[in-house]
């Protein structure tokens, strides 16, 4: 939950941060882009390290760094230092995500891991619902600095909790973290067609959802004309769709083949995009027309994500930490591009957001078709 909190909690405070730092929306959006870029790059470090020293120490060390970076963001007094500290936050927040995914596959068989990953997705989905609400409340009462003090406290809580977590990687299964060994395994991954198709397909599918997450200030303030306390209008229904999708994926884990579950999720997302394209031509931007298809899309996304994640990790059973790292690197790199490039380019019209989502899903479908050919 640490990563989505770091993304979503400060979105309602954009107007206040823009005024204090004397920057525009496009410039402040870069604080999200650099966070995601740092998050993506650092996964390539945390993954092999977790294969070497264990999952627990990676979560603990990255959480300590996260606390320091979050406190720095709260104390920042100009945009340059704020951006640097957001980079540090991104470097730290990825450790828990990478190690956590690997821990699940360490501890469970393939079917049980799919079910467990679905339960994790339920928890993961709660964060985007809570984060903007907490952020909006903190911003309205104490200002934007309080949001980052809250994130500092959240990181501190994680440090306390991880003390009670058992290590899941036995010493006999630990891998070398020598740079040459790491380069070799990453090179194998970059040449593994099925792994790349799986990871890129789910990453581009998620980009269609993340466009609306990163662009939430535009959706709420510009398209719908709402206020900072209205972020729940977007995030609560969207997260409700994710939670329902995660539950469905969990229930199907022991009854359907993984490929059929993925197909179901993609079909739901295609329907969502078609509805979105029809509505944008026929209706004005309203809560129902903008948010309704987004809920359906998030439902499909949550159905496919646990299944695809397990399939990707199983491509490299002896290097699951590195595989989780590469998966996170690719997904977050694409998300960074969405935040830094797509949102600034598409933010002027609702139609552009809809077409951007459709384009991302089309890429995911082409990659999915490529998997079936293998």
Domain total of the chain? 1
Contact 41/12 with Cβ under 8 angstroms? no
Check whether 136 has a pLDDT greater than 50: yes
pLDDT of residue 285: 79
pLDDT at 269: 96
First to last CA, the chain: 35
Confirm whether 13 is domain-assigned.
yes
Confidence tier at 69 by pLDDT (50, 70, 90): very high
Q: Which of 57-66, 70-79, 106-115 has the lowest mean pLDDT?
A: 106-115
Query: Rounded to an integer, what distance in angstroms lies between the CA atom of residue 273 and that of residue 294?
Result: 8
**Predicted confidence (pLDDT) at residue 374 exceeds the cutoff of 50:** no
Question: What is the domain-level CATH number for residue 240?
Answer: 1.20.1250.20
> Is residue 170 included in any domain, yes or no?
no
Residue 103 pLDDT > 90 = no
pLDDT in tens, 315-373: 888 777 778 888 888 987 888 788 888 888 888 888 899 999 999 999 999 988 765 54
Copy the structure tokens of residue 286. Answer: 């309203």
Cα–Cα distance, 304 to 300 (Å, whole number): 7
Tell me the C-alpha to C-alpha distance, in Å, between residue 192 and each of 38, 196, 364.
25, 6, 17
Instruction: Give the pLDDT of residue 57.
Output: 87
Residue 172 lies in a domain: no
The pLDDT, as a whole number, for residue 373 is 44
Residue for token pair 């309203």:
286
Nearest to 151 by CA among 74, 263, 236: 74
pLDDT at 138 over 60: yes
Closest CA to 10 of 163, 201, 154, 206: 154
Note whether residue 206 is domain-resident: yes
> What are the tokens at 314?
């199983």
What pLDDT score was predicted for residue 226?
Answer: 85
Binning the chain into helix, strand and coil, the percentages to the nearest 5 are 85, 0, 15
SS3 letters for 50-101? HHHHCHHHHHHHHHHHHHHHHHHHHHCCCHHHHHHHHHHHHHHHHHHHHHHH
Tokens representing 62 are 């990255």
Structural domain includes residue 171: no
Q: Pick the residue with more confidence: 309 or 201?
A: 201
What is the C-alpha separation between 250 and 255, in angstroms, rounded? 10
225: left (phi over 0), alpha (psi -120 to 50) or beta: left
139 vs 332, which has greater pLDDT? 139
Reduced to 3 states (helix: H, G, I; strand: E, B; else coil), residue 153 is helix
DSSP label at residue 230 = G
In a domain? residue 353: yes
Q: What is the pLDDT of residue 270?
A: 96
What pLDDT, on a 0 to 100 scale, did the predictor assign at position 283?
84
pLDDT score for 371: 59
For residues 86-110, average pLDDT? 83
Single pTM value for the model: 0.74
For residues 50-56, give the mean pLDDT. 82
Phi first, then psi, for residue 19 (nearest 5°) are -70, -45
Does 24 reside within a domain? yes
Q: Answer with the residue of higher pLDDT: 157 or 215.
A: 157
Angle formed by the axes of helices 232-252 and 258-282, to 10°?
150
**In the predicted structure, residue 125 carries a pLDDT above the cut 70:** no
The answer to whether the Cα torsion of 270, 342, 45, 152 is positive or negative is negative
pLDDT at 114: 72
Work out the mean pLDDT of the chain and round it to a whole number.
85
Helix (H, G, I), strand (E, B) or coil at 257: coil
What's the pLDDT band for 222 if we cut at 50, 70, 90?
A: confident
d(C-alpha 53, C-alpha 282), whole Å: 56
133: containing domain: 2-165+177-373
CA 372, CA 82: separation in Å to the nearest integer? 45
């Amino acid at each position: 939950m640490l990563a989505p909190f770091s993304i979503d909690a400060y979105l309602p405070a954009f107007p206040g941060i823009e005024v204090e730092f004397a920057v525009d929306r496009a410039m402040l959006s870069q604080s999200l882009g650099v966070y995601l870029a740092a998050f993506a790059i650092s996964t390539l470090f945390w993954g092999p390290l977790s294969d070497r020293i264990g999952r627990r120490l990676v979560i603990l060390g990255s959480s300590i760094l996260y606390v320091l970076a979050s406190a720095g963001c709260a104390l920042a007094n100009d945009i340059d230092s704020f951006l640097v500290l957001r980079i540090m936050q991104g470097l730290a927040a990825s450790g828990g995500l990478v190690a956590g995914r690997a821990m699940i596959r360490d501890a469970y068989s393939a079917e049980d891991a799919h079910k467990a990953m679905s339960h994790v997705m339920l928890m993961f989905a709660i964060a985007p619902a809570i984060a903007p609400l907490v952020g909006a409340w903190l911003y309205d009462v104490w200002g934007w600095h309080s949001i980052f003090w809250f994130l500092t406290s959240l990181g501190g809580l994680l440090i306390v909790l991880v003390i009670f977590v058992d290590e899941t990687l036995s010493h006999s299964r630990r891998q070398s973290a020598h740079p040459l060994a790491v380069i070799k395994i990453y090179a194998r991954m970059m040449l593994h067609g099925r792994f790349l198709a799986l990871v890129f397909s789910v990453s581009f599918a998620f980009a269609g959802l993340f466009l609306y997450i990163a662009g939430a200030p535009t959706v709420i303030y510009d398209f719908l004309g709402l206020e900072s306390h209205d972020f729940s209008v977007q995030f609560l229904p969207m997260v409700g769709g994710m939670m329902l999708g995660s539950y469905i994926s969990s229930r199907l884990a022991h009854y359907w083949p993984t490929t059929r579950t993925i197909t179901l999720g993609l079909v739901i997302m295609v329907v969502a995009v078609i509805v979105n394209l029809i509505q944008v031509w026929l209706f004005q931007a309203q809560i129902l027309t903008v948010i309704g298809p987004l809920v359906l899309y998030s439902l499909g996304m949550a159905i496919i994500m646990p299944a695809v994640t397990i399939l990707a990790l199983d491509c490299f059973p002896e290097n699951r930490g590195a595989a989780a790292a590469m998966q996170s690197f690719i997904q977050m790199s694409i998300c960074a591009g969405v935040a830094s490039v797509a949102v600034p380019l598409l933010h002027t019209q609702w139609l552009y957001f809809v077409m951007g989502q459709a384009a991302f899903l089309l890429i995911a479908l082409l990659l999915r078709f490529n998997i079936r050919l293998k």
